[in-house]
Structure 1
Amino acid sequence: MRWLLQLYPRQWRERYEEEVLAVLEEHRVSPATVIDLLMGALDANLNYDGFSEGVMYMVNRLRSGMIMIFCAFMLFGVGWGMLQRLNDPMTLFQAANKVHPEFGILHTAVLIVGCLAFVAFLVGGLPIFLISVKRAIKNRKRDALVPFGVALSCLVLFILETAILADWHRIAFAKHHLVGFFLSYLTLVAIELIVGTISASLTISRTDFQLRELKFMFVPEIVILFGMIVSVVLSTVLIILITAYAPQLFITQDVGSPMFITGIIFMALGTIFAWMGIRRGTIKGLGIYHETQFE
């Protein structure tokens, strides 16, 4: 593992390298350890200023973990949204649900748990984001205000495009090129989601938080992760049951089974990244860093 520590700043290595190596020799090195070391290297290069212990280290750790969870939830949300198309067309789904009522129960449960995770995301995330914007305006931090403006523009464009989509039957181009119209919409939304997520993350990463403000996020983060895990499990069970007993439900108005499989993959990846974010942002469980830097 010594080669991984070469990724850290020289000042950090001079102070902590031997201690970390000693700790690694006493613990089983797993893939999670390697990922943690890589993320720690990135964090150290961005934030290390000669002292990693104490409040600033904890703030940087919590903030980077929170950003990971934010990005992970965006990825999860894309997959979760794909799974909501399973009951479209409704008449076909209702017919299958009469024979297999577990379809409706599982689909509703995925919807409820996903919404619960989204509420927790808003409860925890909105105050943090508002703090970032308020301090950026107060301190006139252009490097934080510009990404905020980009993220806000992406949100406004998404609302306008969705409003246009809702009235597509009145648009001549959409009537004659329906597939192209919908593909254009999905492409624009995907670009806006990526750009908006990155921009919002930059705004948060460039804000100086107080430790108590970030610690407030711990409970919402746990609720988010719980909702994501339950949603992935229930969605996987639902897809397996439909594959076995009602494969016709995979054929909706404009999509097929590949979309739902992709949705499950996105949800699973988002959940894994969220778990990594919580593990990184949990001060009590900082692993080898906790043992070497908080003694």
Structure 2
Amino acid sequence: MTEARAHVLAFPEGLAPGATHHLVRAELTPRRPRHLHGHAFHELLWVQNGQVRHHLPDRREDLVEGDMLFLRPGDAHGLQGRGEASMVVSLSIRDSAINALGARHPALTGTGFWSLTPEPSRHHLDLRRMVEVNHAALRLERAPRGALALEAFLLPLLADLAQPPAGIPPEAPAWLHRACRAAQEPEIFRQGAAGLVRAAGRAHPHVARTMRRHLGQTPSDYVNARRMAHAATRLLGSEDSLAEIAADCGVPNLSHFHKLFLAAHGQTPQRFRRARRQQLIQP
């Protein structure tokens, strides 16, 4: 495992006075990072192309095209390319700009940079949202590096991510909305139902009763659906083995993983991967 001690990167120098952000694109080498690094600023990072191995103080995870990380000051990590043309886009943002944004929009609590989890918040953008984000990033590059351009880029993205997950009725309690939104993140759904209940901040029986009433699902049902959606993304976007993907979903028992995946997608993981890739090659 990469060393946990991290070198802290300062905000980029040489920018115009008052600049709030700096955007760069970087192609990663397959060389493993010698040390983790942290930031004296906030960083929004997403995988533009290929696959990336993300090193954390206590483990590592694999990112695929469309995966996005919200990194806060104090978050230590390292990046490593996997295969050819592993490219990331990195947006460095001054703390003052993020603090001002959060103060004006308390509804962002629990989302992105304001995540309540100790690890960086991670989201996966589908193809449509990736196209939108990349177009917005091009506009951001061409605009002055001030707060107006930065917020024009960030607010649509954050507002989209802050929306309750599909299927959560508006009359459900706010704590259930927050818990289900948190359960979209790998760090939470890897913990199973216990992770969702912990994010809810309520007793397990109360969470279970409320979810049955509003969603018709148990906490385990809900979390397993998130796990299998993540598994499908990994199967199509990486060459990782089923054992690696199952472990990343928080279901290291391969037999149980197969059973959950078959119930969710109507196919075994192997057939799902093979069939979808054939569709991409021969539409």
Instruction: Say whether the fold is shared (TM-score over 0.5).
Output: no
More helix by share: 1
Give the TM-score, by structure 2 length: 0.25
Higher relative contact order (CA 8 A, sep 6+): 1
Higher share in strand: 2
